[in-house]
């Protein structure tokens, strides 16, 4: 939804830029420079409100109130008394009518004739989709020209980065956000946008620069919900589950009480707590684990896996080394679809992977027909592979097949 409003804002801005100058005549330069800043700020604020509404950080009433306030402020700014007197009153009033009626008419038509779901269905038509893409490309070209003239416009670089993300040009999006971050390194939101752009370029991997940016944003704004979410997710990826749980508990406390977003975070916290508790009792249950698989739960899809260590590598492990068994999508983000944590001393063992061991609500085993199975002994304790770790892999694996899949850990991670 954010991308739709971005596209509308850009196209309206271009249309006004074409129509208003000849109508405003003598005041064109002063009004255009003044109003372009206000419109640019309003566009960015509108995108932020949409994101906050979708994330559950604003109720519908709060969103409506802030949207009305934004419209009122923009109307006041646009109607402010300019520096020069117009050549004729008729030109001035006609320009104001165009400035207000054009965007309001477009919004009214959108509200009356369609919605975002309709637009998504309409995009299936190749001709319409191509026309829409051409409009976005033209808007991007206009932004690029603007930034050549005003290269220090942070908001302009942010908007350009978001437009590139919409076009799935992730490298260009990262470059644009890097420029915005260079101009505003002490703004938490800019750091998070830059981190998000790099993550998209890295196919969902938070490692490296994104983690640095996320925790810098958290230092700048310790109660930033987006920073807390991403920081917790990065700790899940590295296997630091207790720290992830601490970060997400802070996030849950900031979300609207009883909201869907808060419920999802609480569900994730419950799963994290189970995994943390399971890690502590893994050694005590090793004998049972060797003789029988964990009791499967009532889910539509699950995988039964048996993990063994190649005898040639026995001398390379310690009993307390951490062992991760997880399923991963064949294509897409590397976040585990289901994960079980054990100790190296538990091998050989059998386990069941299903949706109860998923890390997020959307990324779960039942959404896939085929996956990749990985079992890895981590020397550092991180879920992320490091040189010297021991690993076994099996792919592709059919989910829900009535089969016991054997994995032999027989490789050394280089």
Q: What residue ranges do the domains of the chain occupy?
A: 2-201, 209-276, 293-412
CA distance 45 to 186: 19
Residue 22, pLDDT > 70, answer: no
Is 8 in a helix, a strand, or coil? helix
Residue 289, pLDDT > 80, answer: no
CA distance 210 to 191: 9
CA distances from 221 to 86, 174, 185, 199, 249 (A): 46, 22, 13, 21, 16
Over the stretch 155-178, which tens digit does the pLDDT of each residue have?
Answer: 999 989 988 888 888 899 999 999
**What residues are paired with 352 via a beta bridge?**
304
Over the stretch 209-229, which tens digit does the pLDDT of each residue have?
Answer: 998 999 899 888 988 998 998
Q: Among the listed ranges 52-61, 210-219, 329-338, which one has the minimum average pLDDT value? A: 52-61
**293 closest CA partner among 284, 304, 277:** 304
**CA-angle at 45, arms to 40 and 49, nearest 5°:** 150
Residue 158: the pLDDT is 92
Across the range 291-306, mean pLDDT stands at 60
Residue 296: the pLDDT is 42
Cβ-contact 337, 364 below 8 angstroms:
yes
Domain boundaries 293-412, corresponding CATH code? 2.60.40
Domain 209-276 has CATH 1.25.40.10: yes
DSSP H or E run through 212: helix 209-220
Residue 138, pLDDT > 90, answer: no
For residue 54, what pLDDT band results from cuts at 50, 70 and 90? Answer: low
Residue 140, pLDDT > 50, answer: yes
Looking at per-residue pLDDT, the higher value among 325 and 380 belongs to: 325
Over the stretch 359-373, which tens digit does the pLDDT of each residue have?
Answer: 766 678 888 889 999
Over the stretch 249-286, which tens digit does the pLDDT of each residue have?
Answer: 888 888 888 888 888 888 888 888 887 776 554 444 44
Sort strands 302-309 and 370-378 into parallel, antiparallel or unpaired.
Answer: unpaired
For residue 63, what pLDDT band results from cuts at 50, 70 and 90? Answer: confident
Cβ-contact 57, 49 below 8 angstroms:
no
CA distance 280 to 276: 7
Residue 3, pLDDT > 60, answer: no
Q: Among the listed ranges 6-20, 68-82, 386-400, which one has the minimum average pLDDT value? A: 6-20
For residue 78, what pLDDT band results from cuts at 50, 70 and 90? Answer: low
Residue 295: the pLDDT is 42
Q: Among the listed ranges 81-95, 342-356, 397-411, which one has the minimum average pLDDT value? A: 81-95
Residue 346, pLDDT > 70, answer: yes
Cα end-to-end span (Å), the chain: 43
Residue 157: the pLDDT is 93
Q: Among the listed ranges 50-54, 175-179, 181-185, which one has the minimum average pLDDT value? A: 50-54
Q: What is the dihedral of CA 153, 155, 159, 161, to 10 degrees?
A: 70
Evaluate if pTM is beyond 0.85: no
Average pLDDT, the chain: 74
- Fold match between 2-201 and 293-412? no
For residue 137, what pLDDT band results from cuts at 50, 70 and 90? Answer: confident
Long-range contact set of residues 89-98: C-beta below 8 Å, sequence gap at least 24: 91/23, 91/24, 91/25, 92/23, 92/24, 92/27, 94/23, 95/19, 95/20, 95/23, 95/24, 98/16, 98/19, 98/20, 98/23
Looking at per-residue pLDDT, the higher value among 69 and 396 belongs to: 396
Each residue of 200-227: b (16+ CB within 10 Å) or e?
bbbeebbeeebbebbbbbbebbeebbbb
Residue 385: the pLDDT is 78
Residue 31: the pLDDT is 42
H helix intervals, 255-372: 260-280, 286-291
Residue 83, pLDDT > 80, answer: no
The CATH fold assigned to 2-201 is 1.25.40
Across the range 335-340, mean pLDDT stands at 83
CA distance 208 to 171: 16
């Amino acid at each position: 939804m954010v991308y739709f409003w971005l596209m509308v804002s850009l196209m309206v801005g271009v249309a006004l830029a074409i129509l208003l100058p000849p109508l405003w005549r003598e005041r064109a330069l002063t009004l255009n420079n003044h109003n372009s800043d206000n419109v640019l700020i309003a566009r960015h604020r509108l995108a932020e409100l949409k994101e906050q509404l979708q994330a559950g950080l604003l109720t519908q009433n709060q969103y409506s109130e802030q949207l009305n306030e934004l419209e009122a402020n923009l109307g006041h700014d646009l109607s402010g008394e300019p520096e020069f007197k117009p050549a004729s009153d008729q030109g001035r009033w006609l320009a104001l009518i165009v400035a207000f009626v054009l965007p309001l008419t477009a919004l009214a038509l959108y509200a009356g004739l369609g919605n975002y779901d309709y637009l998504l269905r309409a995009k299936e038509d190749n001709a319409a989709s191509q026309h829409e893409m051409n409009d976005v490309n033209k808007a991007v070209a206009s932004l690029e020209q603007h930034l050549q003239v005003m290269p220090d416009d942070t908001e302009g670089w942010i908007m350009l980065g978001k437009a590139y993300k919409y076009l799935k040009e992730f490298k260009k999006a990262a470059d644009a956000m890097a420029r915005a971050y260079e101009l505003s390194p002490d703004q938490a939101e800019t750091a998070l946008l830059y981190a998000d752009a790099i993550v998209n370029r890295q196919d969902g991997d938070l490692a490296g620069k994104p983690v640095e940016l996320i925790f810098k944003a958290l230092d700048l704004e310790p109660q930033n919900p987006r920073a807390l979410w991403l920081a917790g997710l990065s700790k899940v990826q590295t296997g630091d589950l207790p720290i992830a749980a601490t970060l997400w508990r802070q996030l849950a406390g900031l979300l609207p009480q009883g909201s869907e977003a808060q419920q999802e975070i609480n569900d994730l916290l419950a799963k994290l707590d189970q995994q943390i508790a399971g890690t502590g009792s893994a050694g005590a249950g090793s004998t049972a684990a060797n003789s029988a698989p964990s009791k499967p739960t009532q889910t539509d899809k699950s995988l039964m896996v048996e993990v063994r260590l190649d005898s040639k590598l026995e001398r390379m492990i310690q009993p307390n080394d951490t062992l991760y068994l997880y399923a991963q999508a064949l294509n897409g983000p590397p976040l585990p679809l289901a994960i079980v944590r054990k100790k190296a001393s538990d091998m050989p063992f059998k386990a069941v992977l299903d949706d109860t061991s998923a890390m997020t609500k959307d990324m779960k085993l039942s959404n896939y027909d085929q996956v990749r199975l990985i079992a890895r002994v981590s020397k550092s304790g991180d879920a992320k592979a490091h040189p010297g770790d021991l690993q076994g892999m099996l792919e592709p694996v059919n989910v829900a097949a009535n089969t016991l899949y054997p994995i032999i850990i027989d490789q050394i991670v280089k």
